[in-house]
Structure 1
């Protein structure tokens, strides 16, 4: 465990560091309070703590949510607490309920406590207010992913009050997920990998529904995520005065041509079982299905509706040109320029594969372009069998009997990849009402007026309680 000293900070009007909610029934609290009530109040408190991560080391200040969680677990029996603070204020905290059987499967719940910034002028609600309006809770992080984090905490605490489980249960409130975990899960996995088990992990997100073409239902479980292969492409040209460009090689024209050639890359469609199963789950007509599986008609993606962008990303390596830099003064011919690419590879695609694709697209310019690797992480995916996956299927069937479950891969990242790298399995798990499709969930991520239906919070609390009790043993 990281032995760190808490460093106090001033709070803003939104902060609500002390969890003042329901005392657990087994502690003699208000008999009207339920697990759902506890979860909702904790969620509101965490939203109001406003642990905003702007991707800089001194932002986030997740110590606020760490204090809230420590207060939430105060006086809870059978719980061991570990604190991690690799940078001042960037606090993660783990709560472990040791099992009674060393041979039983452990379970670790990975919930992050940071949220992304807001454009305050675009919000009609207080982004850090946690307001309850028309059956919804509004605020940054309500969907991503504080509602799951609060659920994990409440379910863990309830189980601890009932005694030690058969298998060890750990809940971790993690810092810095929105900046790829460098001061959170990534740091713990590299510096304190034995602090808790990574063997079976749950995190964000899952349990939404697919808009199947024939009107039937299907549930989503996230079993993996694409990797990162960020690149910076450098070119050089002739410097000089802007008044005399004659005979000089234009750096700007060269980087523009590089960008044009990169934009023409058309990676092949995946042939793996995840993509095939996802397409078939929609029950499209035979022509559309074939076009999607074989990659013969890009227009076929429109059949996915609001999921067209995600479906395209799930089906192949994507390359997004996001940043271009050249020059500084209007009267100076720049001698260097670069183009930055956000590249997301599928499982099995290596850094060497990515560089080869880029060089091939550059053609006769390849020798004039230097490829710099930035963040590079392989895609990770967990198997679609085994005890935890089976427990997810059984839990889904409990609430939506007979509904098929479709494993998918996330286009973005989550803390689950660190557990997979250490040899464990990890799945995105929550539960939404029938009306909430995968595109509805995506629409709330990092958006204005982010909100969660309270019906979905209730379902997620019930689903986590059922799965945790079944998996580690009440």
Structure 2
């Protein structure tokens, strides 16, 4: 077998994956992930692995393969990445989001940040190691999933429910939205490793009143009832709740920036984080944002019902408080039901896996400081955690100081520097040796 070089391959792998349209609008109407899954499976098969393509529905495809380790008696490690991406409006982009073009030393396109970059890094490092005859210390399971951008019903959730046997022995995992750098100065960088995720509660609100003519008095107007409830929720200032992971992040970040963290005023620290403040600020408290409204069918008819949607996110340990407060805000005349509901996660930032991540980063970047943080969104880790897997977000990238990486998640002009991808391959290679 020809020896492969992951650093040479990774940008091309990322480019190829971006060029495969796997947009997911959440209604099962898109192209699906089948073409991307076939590409991934082909690249794995080229080095002698035997990946399985598993379809949960037409074109909704996942890829799973186990790489045998030197000591199969040890617990296995899961590396997971999703193949779907969110939709886009090409007119808003500098370069077409499906071009995968390499320009200005970056790979451009939808998925360059979320998360075909990590898919490419996993493929590159695994292909290199297999071609060199280097086995990991323990079994490593690779999972490339469908549908993460819509909650994972056709992807990680389905795999955890229907193909649990493929993950036998997996106790730890790494996945997306972590491991990227934030520059402190020219010599030092924080690398944010996701150790917690907020829970998700997408809800439909319904108010029911008395239908009638729009010209008449009506004290039971469903639109009014719903609008007032939505206004209360949307304007509510949720109290700060410092979780273990958030407090650790703010303490470590404050120390690195040269000032003391004041737990009574965490927002003062967040305000000094620049573009990162959007992501971190959302992890200081629960949130509930109105996102959709629907009522009526004619201007002169008062409808009997009105509905709205709320995107709720709750911190680990604060789910009960979240729903109790939400119900008080809604009042007795508005009901809620889940469109999608998933757990919050949090794990300690300690143990051999954490040391392996931190050591791999420092080996490639002596100015690296690994810090845990909480993700305001969610990932496939929620589904895999049901199987008892402890996971982290670790897709290592050393980024230019002026690149607003976190702002490109689901944004326009997604791009990832080629050198950052090469850095990620080197770090993942060291990490796999150490874990």
Instruction: State the alpha-carbon separation in 2 of the partners of residues 303 and 393 from structure 1.
Output: 24
What RMSD, in angstroms, separates the aligned Cα atoms of the two structures? Answer: 2.5
Q: Deviations over 1:133-153 (max 9, x none)?
A: 121111111111111101111
Q: Structure 1: state its 5+ residue gaps.
A: 1-26
| Residue 305 (str. 1) matches residue 279 (str. 2) | no
Q: Work out whether residues 34 and 60 of structure 2, in 8 Å CA contact, stay in contact via their aligned partners in 1.
A: yes
In structure 2, the partner of 1:143 is: 113
Other-structure match for 2:298: 329
Q: 1:407 aligns with which of 354, 372, 393?
A: 372
The answer to which of 277-286 and 86-95 deviates more is 277-286
User: Computing the radius of gyration over CA atoms, which structure comes out larger, 1 or 2?
Assistant: 1
Give the Cα–Cα distance (whole angstroms) in 1 for the partners of residues 235 and 14 of structure 2.
45
CA distance in 2, matches of 1:457, 1:204: 14
* Alpha-carbon separation, structure 1, partners of 2:239 and 2:186: 28
Residues 88-237 of structure 1: pairs in structure 2 closer than 5 A = 88-161=58-131, 162-197=133-168, 198-210=170-182, 212=184, 216-237=188-209
Counterparts of residues 368-387 of structure 1 (less than 5 Å): 368-387=333-352
On the 8 A contact 2:177/2:395 being kept in 1, the answer is yes
Task: Summarize the Cα distance change of 1:142–1:434 in structure 2 as closer, same or farther, 3 Å threshold.
Answer: closer
Partner of 1:449: 413
Farther off after superposition, 413-422 or 130-139: 413-422
Summarize the alignment of residues 66-85 of structure 1 with structure 2, pairs less than 5 Å apart: 66-77=37-48, 79-85=49-55
The residue that corresponds to 1:426 in the other structure is: 391
Query: Secondary structure at 2:411's aligned position in 1?
Result: coil
CA contact (8 A) 2:226 2:334 kept: no
TM-score by length of 2: 0.92
Secondary structure at the aligned position of 2:138 is classed as coil
Give the whole-Å Cα distance in 2 for the aligned partners of 1:451 and 1:213.
23
Aligned residues: 432
Alpha-carbon shift at residue 86 of structure 1 (Å): 1.0
Distance 1:286-1:386 versus aligned 2 partners, 3 A rule: closer
CA deviation map 1:62-112 (0-9, x unaligned): 1111111222123423x3322211101111111211224233242221011
Instruction: Give the 5 Å matches for 1:266-285.
Output: 266-283=237-254
TM-score normalised by L of structure 1: 0.85
Deviation of 1:280 (Å) = 2.1
CA distance in 2, matches of 1:73, 1:236: 55
Change (3 A) 1:424 1:337: same
After superposition, where does 1:37-48 map in structure 2 within 5 Å? 37-48=8-19
Query: Do 2:187 and 2:367's aligned partners in 1 also have CA atoms closer than 8 Å?
Result: no
Identify unmatched segments of 5+ residues in structure 2: none
Residue aligning to 1:8: none
Separation of aligned partners in 2, 1:99 and 1:273: 34
